[in-house]
Structure 1
Amino acid sequence: MIPWLTIAIALPAIGAVLIWALPRVKTPVGERAASVAATAEGGGGTATAVRAPTAVGGAASAENVKRITLGFSLATLLVLVGMTLRFDLSNAGSLQFVEEYPWIPRFGVHYAVGVDGIALTLILMSAILVPLVVLAAWREHDDREDGGRGYFALILALEAMMIGVFAATDVFLFYVFFEAMLIPVYFMIGRYGRGDDRAKAAVKFLLYSLAGGLIMLVAVIGVFVHGGTFLWADLVGANGALAALDPSTARWLFLGFFIAFAIKAPMWPVHTWLPQAAGASRPGTAVLLVGVLDKVGTYGMLRYCMELFPDAVEVFVWPVVALSLVSIVYGAVLAIGQSDMMRLVAYTSISHFGFITLGIFALTPQSQTGAALYMVNHGFATGALFLVVGLLIARRGSSRIEDFSGVRNVAPKLAGVFLVTGLAGLALPGLAPFISEFLVFVGVYAFNPVPAVIAVIGVVLAALYILWMYQRTMTGPTAESVSGFTDLSARESWVVGPLLALIIVFGLYPQPLLDAIEPAAERTVVVTTVDSAEEGGAE
């Protein structure tokens, strides 16, 4: 049997090591300055401007690093596409491509991986986003001494961990990937980010995540103490090792996992690290941070909170629903008041994640299917929006909304792409996020009409912040500072084109994603409701 998942994890990890092992070739300061000057003269920092040549070997080294990164990311995507073609959709609710090897036998730790339909779609989403992020960052670090060598190595290292965290079927292995992801993201923000506050933003991100991780570690240890194993398949179900867990203990262990996932998601009130981190990030970093890493939190709620502690879920349903509603409205209201595009998109994501957690804890097949589908579609839509904002920042050298006006007059293609990605963010019918949001509303209404009605406020506010941002930046008289903007280049079209295609295709025909996701979501609902019913009967 081909170890598909191990190959997919190993490929980007090997690429990251290879990049770090390449000889360091520094670009002389004077020539880096010339490169920056050439960029500035090309129209407000245009990403496609002609750059001055660097030192002999310097440019070649930087270009080789980019090509290696792109090559390994595309190879990883091809491996996962090959694996997907062999995925049995008729059995999408069960784990497939399972690998299990003893890792630390004395403590019952295994290297165990496998995917169901939800994990598969999230892994594929991650693998699609990574090469696009590499292309988007192709010229971002040309003014650095190392040409962005470290940044591209960190991208590949992070990709390996993202695949690993979604594929892990050993609770301890999941925790290792969950915590290890913090390291590359910390440096991607703190060292390669934007603005003077990037170090502070990176530290805040790290501290919040570490705090949640430490709480989760206590719960992971508790799972082993009471279950005798870390293997997810042996822990879940009516005959699983945690089936006879004391209700009080189950609730505390549930909280240990949930708090860590709520911070990662992020949910109100543990969300404050995200706007600052996204605002200080390069657009590509923000794509991976919000588009993929935050999904680990909501995925963890589905995979671990729901299925490991089904008896405890019923106790926390309404508190989590309330927090989700606050996140939806709070994130949307704060987005309206933002003057920075990166922070605005970050706040919209807090609102979107509120819809996802609301769908998860409504405990209906439609809501959980919609929530899982929302994770994937949000990754594509918000990833595209961050990338388009990044193209604007590269041209203007600023992310402030007030620094743009009339971009549509000089770069109509760029403005058109910005409009489509914005409309996807507000879940316009015909675009991928719409069906996700619709399923969440249907499932939540079946659970209880009141939360569904309150959540509609978030939909209304989404139209306000998206259309307001588009109007302020793209329409009106052309500001002098944007008059020299160029339209989309060939490379930039390859950055946003695939995501636009996916947003439209899955908006018109979401069935392939639903075929993979729905059986796994229904399994989660059945496990939760059946176990809760059995507990009620026993009482």
Structure 2
Amino acid sequence: MNWLLSVLIFLPLSGALMISLTGHNKPIYVRWAALTISTVELSIALGLWWIASPDSDGYLYIVQVPWIPTMGIQFLLGMDGLSLLLVLLTTLLVPIAILVSWSSITHNWSTFAALLLATQAGIIGVFLALDLILFYVFWELMLVPMYFLIGLWGHERRLYAAYKFFLFTVTGSLLMLVAILGLYFIHGEQTGIYTFDYFELLHTNLSGDTGMWLMLGFFVAFAVKIPLFPIHSWLPDAHTEAPTAGSIILAGLLLKTGAYGLLRFCLPLFPEASIDFAPFAMALGVVGILYGALLALVQEDIKRLIAYSSISHLGFVVFGIYTWNQEGLHGAMLLMLAHGATTSAMFAIIGMLEERTGTRLLSCMGGLLSPMPRLGAMLLLFTLSAMGMPGLANFVGEFLVLAGVYQVSASLAIAGAMGIVASAIYLLWMYQRAMLGEKSSDRIWVDLDRREMLILTLLAVTVLWLGLYPAPFLDYLQVPATGIIESNTAIMTGTEDAFR
């Protein structure tokens, strides 16, 4: 089944090419073709999940083919438990993004669908690539179509948001490329083997300032994508101006590539530098949690409010990653999945509200629960999940993160808990203003149709599964988390000492 990893990447790329060449003037066929391709992708990912064993040591599937052997570049793909679950999330959210756009995108569907599928190929490539040049290729590939999705189908200030998104992310990417090349040449000088193979580079001896500078090159690129304070300002603009599908892909997937990069590359490749940097990274996580929550409290635009809440929730992910213990790492990984499902559902509902009301301003809403009870019930479910209600997705991840952080620093755990309290305040305030109170208009409202109910039901099942029975997901995360910890047990002790 190893060859299916290549199919996961090349099927959406081929579909994007086919649609872009043949899909003009036939939007209904384009929509169904894109939905079919993305559904096949989901079926393949589910099949890989079905036959995989969570107890397998190392990687579940590997593809290794020479690409540019003279430079040590390979087509090297690998899937472990973490990348498997993130690929599953990717293949779930892309068909949802297509269904959300079914009637809201009214022009040039062939280009829109092709860009969406190309973005999917790039994201899956990021989660699977284990050759650093191949990883960089996919890292850049996913940025270009997203730039056009925002710039062509976004709202009033879409070009500004698209430029800002691209400049921030490309700047970080270039720093990572420099760090990749530095790692390549240092490993070559030490061993005589010049390669970008992830498994070989794990054995590179990096000491002192060299390791720290190379690690920072990777860290900045990933921190921009998460995004971490103070390099976060592109995200609220990108979310606010992007079409609904773009916001779903951004929040559900692109932000996760940054956190994935920390887990896959920063910690394993630069363990000593990462341990030394851990107090600063956790401090940035705390600032992000509280800063995002405080700014969410003062937003009138409901989409911008959820964008700032993403900054806060992704701060928890970084918080957990740098604890270097089982609870923190498990919590961070699970929260990546939970945030992807919950926030994607929130953006989908906001898109549905905007189609009906013509606005995203909370001051122009109110009393919508009575005429739209199904939409109101779904929004309540995902609002409760986002604020960490027990039994729903986010609670398990946040609880494990705080349990892991508490082992390192009780004061940091308390600061992180304050972020959860703040999220309950701004999310309940949002729901009260949008759904409760007096109706702001006497117009006739239309509740969720069957297509919209299908979208939200799929995400609701995911949120409930993660919240009520997370064990199957945690089983697949056990080996990746243990691998990070066991390879650096002696160094990990220094993390706890750094906070004392």
Same fold (TM over 0.5): yes
2:193 aligned with 1:232: no
Paired position in structure 2 for 1:487:
447
Paired position in structure 2 for 1:527:
487
- The 3 A distance-change label for structure 1 pair 2 and 267 is closer
* Matches for 1:404-415 after TM superposition, within 5 Å: 404-415=365-376
The one-letter amino acid of 2:66's match is P
Q: 2:95 aligns with which of 124, 128, 131?
A: 131
Q: Work out whether residues 324 and 492 of structure 2, in 8 Å CA contact, stay in contact via their aligned partners in 1.
A: no
Q: C-alpha distance in 1, partners of 2:207/2:478?
A: 31
1:109 is displaced (CA, Å) by 0.8
Q: 2:175 aligns with which of 215, 224, 228?
A: 215
1:480 is displaced (CA, Å) by 1.2
* Matches for 1:262-301 after TM superposition, within 5 Å: 262-301=223-262
2:268 aligned with 1:302: no
Q: How many residues align?
A: 489
The one-letter amino acid of 2:7's match is I
Q: Work out whether residues 367 and 440 of structure 2, in 8 Å CA contact, stay in contact via their aligned partners in 1.
A: yes
Paired position in structure 1 for 2:309:
348
1:531 is displaced (CA, Å) by 5.2
Paired position in structure 1 for 2:406:
445
Q: C-alpha distance in 1, partners of 2:488/2:353?
A: 46
Larger RCO, structure (CA 8 Å, separation 6 or more)? 1
Paired position in structure 1 for 2:386:
425
SS of structure 2 residue aligned to 1:98: strand
Q: C-alpha distance in 2, partners of 1:217/1:88?
A: 34
1:456 is displaced (CA, Å) by 1.0
* TM-score, scaled to structure 1: 0.89
2:66 aligned with 1:105: no
Q: 1:83 aligns with which of 19, 29, 48?
A: 48
Q: Work out whether residues 99 and 112 of structure 1, in 8 Å CA contact, stay in contact via their aligned partners in 2.
A: yes
Q: 1:252 aligns with which of 213, 217, 225?
A: 213
The one-letter amino acid of 1:138's match is W
1:509 is displaced (CA, Å) by 0.4
Paired position in structure 2 for 1:502:
462
Superposition RMSD in Å: 1.4
1:532 is displaced (CA, Å) by 6.1
Paired position in structure 1 for 2:498:
none
The one-letter amino acid of 1:347's match is Y
Deviations 1:201-248 (A, max 9, x none): 000000000110111110010111112321111222xxx2x1x22322
The one-letter amino acid of 1:269's match is P
Deviations 1:467-518 (A, max 9, x none): 001000100111216x321111001011111000111122110001000012
Q: C-alpha distance in 1, partners of 2:275/2:465?
A: 37
* Matches for 1:117-266 after TM superposition, within 5 Å: 117-142=81-106, 144=107, 146=108, 148-194=109-155, 196-227=156-187, 228-236=194-202, 240=203, 242=204, 244-266=205-227
Q: Work out whether residues 362 and 433 of structure 2, in 8 Å CA contact, stay in contact via their aligned partners in 1.
A: yes
SS of structure 1 residue aligned to 2:369: helix
Q: C-alpha distance in 1, partners of 2:154/2:124?
A: 24
The one-letter amino acid of 1:74's match is T
Q: C-alpha distance in 2, partners of 1:533/1:374?
A: 25
Paired position in structure 2 for 1:515:
475
Q: C-alpha distance in 2, partners of 1:477/1:23?
A: 46
Paired position in structure 2 for 1:378:
339
Q: Work out whether residues 369 and 522 of structure 1, in 8 Å CA contact, stay in contact via their aligned partners in 2.
A: no
Q: Work out whether residues 363 and 447 of structure 1, in 8 Å CA contact, stay in contact via their aligned partners in 2.
A: no
Q: Work out whether residues 224 and 258 of structure 2, in 8 Å CA contact, stay in contact via their aligned partners in 1.
A: yes
SS of structure 1 residue aligned to 2:74: strand
Q: C-alpha distance in 1, partners of 2:101/2:270?
A: 42
Q: Work out whether residues 254 and 309 of structure 1, in 8 Å CA contact, stay in contact via their aligned partners in 2.
A: yes
Q: Work out whether residues 275 and 491 of structure 2, in 8 Å CA contact, stay in contact via their aligned partners in 1.
A: no
SS of structure 2 residue aligned to 1:491: helix
1:450 is displaced (CA, Å) by 1.1
SS of structure 2 residue aligned to 1:503: helix
1:11 is displaced (CA, Å) by 1.1
SS of structure 2 residue aligned to 1:410: coil
Q: 1:63 aligns with which of 13, 21, 28?
A: 28
The one-letter amino acid of 1:323's match is L
Q: C-alpha distance in 2, partners of 1:486/1:210?
A: 42
Q: Work out whether residues 149 and 246 of structure 2, in 8 Å CA contact, stay in contact via their aligned partners in 1.
A: yes
Q: C-alpha distance in 2, partners of 1:467/1:517?
A: 32
% identity of equivalent residues: 38
1:534 is displaced (CA, Å) by 11
Deviations 1:397-431 (A, max 9, x none): 11111121110010011001011111111110000
* Matches for 1:33-44 after TM superposition, within 5 Å: none
The one-letter amino acid of 2:375's match is L
SS of structure 2 residue aligned to 1:328: helix
Q: Work out whether residues 364 and 447 of structure 1, in 8 Å CA contact, stay in contact via their aligned partners in 2.
A: no
The one-letter amino acid of 2:406's match is Y
2:305 aligned with 1:322: no
Q: Work out whether residues 219 and 256 of structure 1, in 8 Å CA contact, stay in contact via their aligned partners in 2.
A: yes
1:448 is displaced (CA, Å) by 1.4
2:303 aligned with 1:338: no
Deviations 1:170-222 (A, max 9, x none): 1111111111111010000011112x210000000000001101111100101
Deviations 1:114-168 (A, max 9, x none): 11111110110010111111101000122x2x2x221111111111111110001
2:421 aligned with 1:460: yes
Q: Work out whether residues 275 and 346 of structure 1, in 8 Å CA contact, stay in contact via their aligned partners in 2.
A: yes
Q: C-alpha distance in 2, partners of 1:401/1:486?
A: 19
Q: Work out whether residues 60 and 81 of structure 2, in 8 Å CA contact, stay in contact via their aligned partners in 1.
A: no
Q: C-alpha distance in 2, partners of 1:505/1:157?
A: 29
Q: Work out whether residues 4 and 97 of structure 1, in 8 Å CA contact, stay in contact via their aligned partners in 2.
A: no
Paired position in structure 2 for 1:34:
none
- The 3 A distance-change label for structure 1 pair 122 and 2 is closer
Q: C-alpha distance in 1, partners of 2:358/2:12?
A: 31
Structure 1, unpaired ranges of 5+: 26-60
Paired position in structure 1 for 2:363:
402
SS of structure 2 residue aligned to 1:24: coil
Deviations 1:354-403 (A, max 9, x none): 00000001111110111011101110011111111111011111111112
